[in-house]
Structure 1
Amino acid sequence: MAGLGADLEGATEAASALLKELGLEAYLFAIEPREGDWELKLECAVKEGWQTVTLSVDIRLLLASRTDSDARARLLRSWGAKFAACLRSTDREP
């Protein structure tokens, strides 16, 4: 069980770093351990209010993204497309 806790903490830190890099304006997220792929639940601000997106996450890829630039780039591309409707920090009007 100690391994799961360490993986959950590492996965949460990795997801947080990726979401910050995507520049989302406002969001809440949770990583949930599952058998096989884990689950990322994200609530983000959109023009009409809030939306919830749930997606499967390869835990090994997510953990690798902390130190592997290819893994990070792969997740950023994938997540960027899935979270396209979410407002970005750059969407703010001056």
Structure 2
Amino acid sequence: MPPLAQDIRSARAAVERLLDELGVRGFVYTVEQKETGWVLRVECGTEDGWQALALPVDPAELNASLGDPAVRAKLRADWTPHFRACATRPPAHPA
């Protein structure tokens, strides 16, 4: 598998885990490599409809979060303010 494809697979696995741990449900997302860097785009259900957001992400940090609880905790803390309107269930207990 080409390196970019593996990076995207790892990034998607990390994003799904983090969104689950944040308690986000009813969402669609993409992780894309752009000229300016990687971007996470998420649309999630809220009480009033849908919210769309885009966050810059570091693929190396996402990959590291799969095996390092400290990196995962940092990303959860960084992302929490952006996803507050989306969280509709208690967050999962991080592993």
Mark yes or no: TM-score above 0.5.
yes
Moved over 2 A (4+): 34-37
2:57 aligns with: 57
Distance 2:23 2:9 in 1: 21
| Residue of structure 2 in register with 1:86 after alignment | 86
- Contact 1:27–1:43 under 8 Å retained in 2: yes
CA distance in 2, matches of 1:24, 1:14: 14
In the alignment, the residues of structure 1 paired with residue 48 and residue 13 of structure 2 have an alpha-carbon distance, to the nearest angstrom, of: 29
* Residue in structure 2 matched with residue 38 of structure 1 by the alignment: 38
- Mapped contact 2:32–2:39 kept (Cα < 8 A): yes
Between the two proteins, the alignment pairs up a number of residues equal to 90
Distance 2:6 2:25 in 1: 28
Query: Does 2:5 align with 1:11?
Result: no
Which blocks of at least 5 consecutive residues in structure 1 are unaligned? none
Contact 2:22 2:87 in 1 (8 A): no
The structure with higher relative contact order (CA 8 Å, sep 6+) is: 2
Percent identical across equivalent pairs? 37
Q: Tell me the CA shift for residue 34 of structure 1.
A: 2.3
- Unaligned regions of 5+ residues in structure 2, if any? 91-95
Judge conservation of contact 1:44–1:52 (CA < 8 Å) in 2: yes
TM-score (norm 2): 0.86
